[in-house]
Chains A and B, each alone.
Chain A
Amino acid sequence: MSNYAIKVENISKRYRIGVQQKASDTFGGAVFSTLSKPLRTFNQIRRLSSFDDNSDQAADIIWALRNISFELKSGEKLGIIGKNGAGKSTLLKVLSKITEPSHGRALIKGKVSSLLEIGTGFHRDLTGRENVYLNGTILGMSRGDIKNKFDEIVEFAGVEQFIDTPIKRYSSGMQVRLAFSVAAHVQPDILIVDEVLAVGDIEFQRKCMGKLDEQATEGKTVIFVSHNMGAIRRLCSEVILLNGGEISLKGDPDTAINEYLRNSETTNAFSSDAIDQYFENDPSKAIQIKRIRLLNEIGQPSYSFNNKFPVDLEMEIEVREKRQDAYLGCVMYTSDDSILGDSQTNDLEQKFEWRKPGSYVVKLRLPADVYNAGIYRLGAYAALSSDATDRRDISFQVINGQPFGQSVGGSRKGALLLPLKWEFKDS
């Protein structure tokens, strides 16, 4: 017998979407259509749940999932990534038994708990305590389970003082913390998590990730949907990339994430999330950024970087006029958009002025061992002191590969690792 935890075989899911009725343009037609509206509405509603076999090709049918198959061994962590509408949530809903597949089947071994939302069933008028019990039982815990973990749940949420107060008196942050805390203490064999980590302040998000890490290391089978590539890379041993309801790639996290980012680049060329961006010629600019990308330690464009290695910002600069006041620069932002610093070619001996018209490849190295895990954005600009600047933004993510970036209470705070030297003397 194979030791699968989840075996998905050819799952497809179709939905019927409402098709807009054509408005009639004659008076008689309008009267007729008003009178027959209830009948049409009835048919429309009825069709939501009835699919006859030859209706598979009908115009108002969309396939949210198509022939999805994969197998997950016990203890494996699967990440699912893909654009909005790629079918990620539908797949989770099918596996959570919330909605039924149209074709195919899935075998699931053990107790499943799915966190598609936190705080489901929370009621404003109930106290924190009552909501913990209500929400816990909804997530499939028994009263005894909750009783045993009650103190732990409340402590993790940090709402000990208010546990017997109706949650409508809670701040929204407290509600979210309590909700996540209940969810985090469910102990299933298989955990299905949808993007629920994007809650609360940074401090709490980190706590949540820690809790998820914990579950993952305990040998639970985890299916995790997220847009946070850092989290996917860290948690998952395998990643499925969904595209238009189909699996377009299944492989190790790096391959899948890079493929995903490359895909989103072609459809979304001007987003700062794209890892290799080209820009159209604009002859009105005396100096212009033509291409911008970030390269990793082996010279490949990437979105995600390990801080053990430097990150290279590479730009192609088109100079159209020889100018004395030309210079290049780059502002670096943290994920909350505060400026971390600004670097300019004027700082150097080798300035960028008096360049002959033509194309230049410019590299700016962000050193290793400096940046903490997180999302950063670079705003690179090519400028003339008298003129408007040409500016392009590119985002990237740093993941922590540093032994010294870890500390007892989870990861370190702040944008920089500050590898400073400490000295001790025994007195």
Chain B
Amino acid sequence: MNDSEKHVTVVKPRNTWDILTIRDLWEYRDMLLYLVLRDIKARYTQSVLGIGWAVLQPLFLMIVFTVIFGKLVKINTNGMDYAVFSYTALVPWAYFSNSLMLTTGSLIQNSNLLSKVFFPRLVLPMSTVLSTLVDFFIAFILVIVLMIWYQVSPTIWVLFLPVLLMLMVVLSVSLGSLFAALAIQYRDVRHGIAFLVQGMMYASPVVYPVSIIPDKYRLIYGLNPMAGVIEGFRSALLGSTPMPWDLIIVGTIVTLVLAVIGLTYFKFTERIFADVM
């Protein structure tokens, strides 16, 4: 290669807000792939149930919720059996909560990489979010089994599920990278995130339908992007409620705002990761 064709890298203190360097990320796509594989494999090797744990977590919650909220509290589910009603919501919820918690710790867990090798730091939270997706798909198989068991037929909107899935992934990456960047400097964030996730579950239509929210608070409720996603899953798969377009639109806007904030903060602080951890 001729000298003048070579790419010149400038290493200098950054005072300006750099725009996301997609080119870097693309160059390291193979690393992203192998980090995802590593995460998946490391999570389930030498475990008897292995990937079965991905199903067990939402399944266990489904059983608990069915007993408490289905049988004892008797929440109105528009005639849907509570087991399938809650499991359909628990699968996207479990994905979101797990990926958010794992992503928040992703930089801390890989601090040896941060201090020894250069690579676009965003690869780390992204790989975590993507590897958790495998759990999602495994857990989703049981949704199909339950639907057959309870003889529920999906609506045409199942075709819309990939969009909801994408919304969920983007939300996880945005919030996850924001919290990961905070957590590498302030470890408190990692502890605090457990509370946040717990609180968010009750702010999402997991154990109850959106219909119990009074109409005037509905859009405020929709500020939690997971509200639209979860109710959208239910609507598409069970047809028990119409597609909650208003929630999805509000949720998408909020997600995009969070994406800008999260990725900008991440990008802005990544240069000091190695110094502050």
Contacts and interface: CB of A to CB of B under 8 A. Distances in A.
Interface string A80-120: 00000000000001111111111111111111101011001
Interface stretch (A122-130, A205-213, A231-239): A122-130
Contact of A100 (B13, B28, B186): B13
Contacts of A74: 3
Interface string A183-200: 000000100000000000
B13 A137 contact: no
Contacts of A108: 8-11
Interface string B17-55: 000000000011011011101100110011000000000
A385 interface: no
13 contacts: A45-B185, A46-B185, A48-B185, A49-B185, A49-B269, A99-B272, A106-B10, A106-B12, A108-B9, A114-B118, A133-B34, A134-B31, A138-B119
Given A48-B275, A98-B117, A120 B112 contact: yes
Interface residues of A, number: 49
B12 A104 contact: yes
A121 interface: yes
Contact of B116 (A45, A120, A143): A120
Contacts of B42: 123, 125-126
Given A101-B11, A102-B13, A108-B8, A116 B34 contact: no
Interface string A45-84: 1101100000000000000000000000010000000000
Contacts of B35: 134
Contacts of B72: none
A134 B3 CA distance: 30
Contacts of A134: 31, 34-35, 37-38
A268 interface: no
A94 B275 CA distance: 11
A3 interface: yes
B9 A139 contact: no
B220 interface: no
A98 B11 contact: no
B4 interface: yes
B275 A130 contact: no
A15 interface: yes
Contacts of B31: 134, 137-138
A1 interface: yes
A343 interface: no
Contacts of B8: 107-109
Nearest to A2: B3
B3 A109 contact: yes
Contact of A105 (B7, B11, B112, B186): B11
Contacts of B9: 97, 107-109, 112
B218 interface: no
Given A101-B11, A120-B117, A49 B272 contact: yes
